[in-house]
Amino acid sequence: MFFFLGITFRQISSYDEAIQSYQSALQLNAYYSDCYFNLGNVYFEEKKDYANAEICYKSALDALEEER
């Protein structure tokens, strides 16, 4: 549910709420690679916070490795 709220908030330009929603989803599942990827996109594209975006993208890759 939080993942989809994050998508919705981003679509309506509520970026801080999107970030909070994605972080809530990750608290429930720390290996949610799509969530890390979307969170990274918000940081990268909307917030211009490249350091946090990089952390999220690396976490997405780590989560994908854990799925294997």
pLDDT attached to residue 10: 98
How many Cα atoms within 13 Å fall on the side-chain side of residue 63?
16
Residue 56 in tokens: 């999220």
**pLDDT averaged over every residue in the chain:** 96
Domains, the chain, in order of start with CATH, read 2-67 (1.25.40.10)
Taking residues 4-16, report their average pLDDT: 98
* 8 pLDDT higher than 80: yes
CA distance 61 to 31: 10
Q: 18 Cβ partners below 8 Å, 6+ apart?
A: 5, 6, 7, 9, 10, 42
pLDDT attached to residue 67: 72
Other Cβ atoms closer than 10 A to 66? 10
